[in-house]
Amino acid sequence: MARRIKMIVPVPVPREALAGFAAQFPEEWLRGDIAVEFCCARQGGTALDSHYEGVMADAFCLDAGLRAEDEGFAAVCVNSMSDSGVAALRSRLSIPVLGTAAPTYHLASQLGRRFSILSMWDRWRWLYDKVLGETGLSHRLASIRAIGVAPDTAELLSGKEDSVFPLLLDAARRAVEEDGADVLVLGSTTMHQSHRYLADNLDVPVLNPGLIAFKSCETLLDLRLSHSKRAYPSPRGLNDSIFRPGPIAAPGQEEVAR
């Protein structure tokens, strides 16, 4: 039986958008013993543009994943560079729980001396600072280069390739040539469609966080490792019903399997 990984998008998105996230995994990377199922927070903000939306994302990512272990999932991953709700889910669950940003920043630090983050807009700066601070990797950051384009969590980058990709490439080259970056990190899982274009046009590693998070989950499952319960102690009592008394599927937000 396949081990199932629950991938949580921390803002409400249409079912079609979940399929777009799931489509980034190459067929040759998929294993018969691993299954990925995407879902999203049933409530919350729209684009994680502020600490205000970040708190909502923390709460509703916890809501989306707190029953994962009882539902038979082998691991949970928050599919966002915000790593929303990861600490809370680690406290609630015993199965492996990962975010997307922390594994990506750690890998970037293994592949080079300094990395830069390529971002769509400046309003995501707070979430980069949050996870870099939590991981202690701020000193490895060369720069954050934003192109000033508001994200689209429904369509992602579809139809915007001709306008957005050159802007990202220019920002990437500046990060390498002017800021001293050895490695580049896409600043959002919504940017995954630009990965191949950038990787083909640059001579430094370009990291796609969604794929790195997926492979990190696989690795933990293969090694039979999970987070330390000394670091993330379980609650003395559960109050899961504070979110909802039972399983409720919001219209258009059903899980999408990959």
Going from N- to C-terminal start, the domains of the chain cover 3-100+211-257, 101-208
For the cut 60, the answer to whether the pLDDT of residue 253 exceeds it is no
Q: Is the pLDDT of residue 123 over 60?
A: yes
Band the pLDDT of 99: cuts 50, 70, 90: very high
Kindly state the average pLDDT of the residues 155-178.
Answer: 82
178 pLDDT higher than 90 = yes
- The model's confidence at residue 157, banded by pLDDT at 50, 70 and 90, is low
* pLDDT at position 243: 85
Question: What is the architecture, at CATH level 2, of domain 101-208?
Answer: 3-Layer(aba) Sandwich (3.40)
Between the alpha carbon of residue 129 and those of residues 84, 113, 230, the distances in Å are 13, 18, 25
Which residues fall within 8 angstroms of residue 109, CB to CB, at 6 or more apart?
115, 137, 140
Q: Can you tell me the distance from the alpha carbon of 84 to that of 101, in angstroms, rounded to the nearest whole number?
A: 10
- Report the pLDDT value the prediction gives residue 65, as an integer from 0 to 100: 97
Cβ burial of 215 (10 Å; 0-12, 13-18, 19+) is middle
Cα 222–223–226 angle (5° rounding)?
A: 105
Helices (H), 136-244: 161-177, 195-201, 209-223
Give me the CATH code for the 3-100+211-257 domain, please: 3.40.50.1860
Give tens-digit pLDDT for 227-250.
999 999 999 999 999 887 654 444
Are 3-100+211-257 and 101-208 the same fold in CATH? Answer: yes
Q: Does 51 or 30 have the greater pLDDT score?
A: 51
- Kindly report whether the global pTM for this prediction surpasses the value 0.85: yes
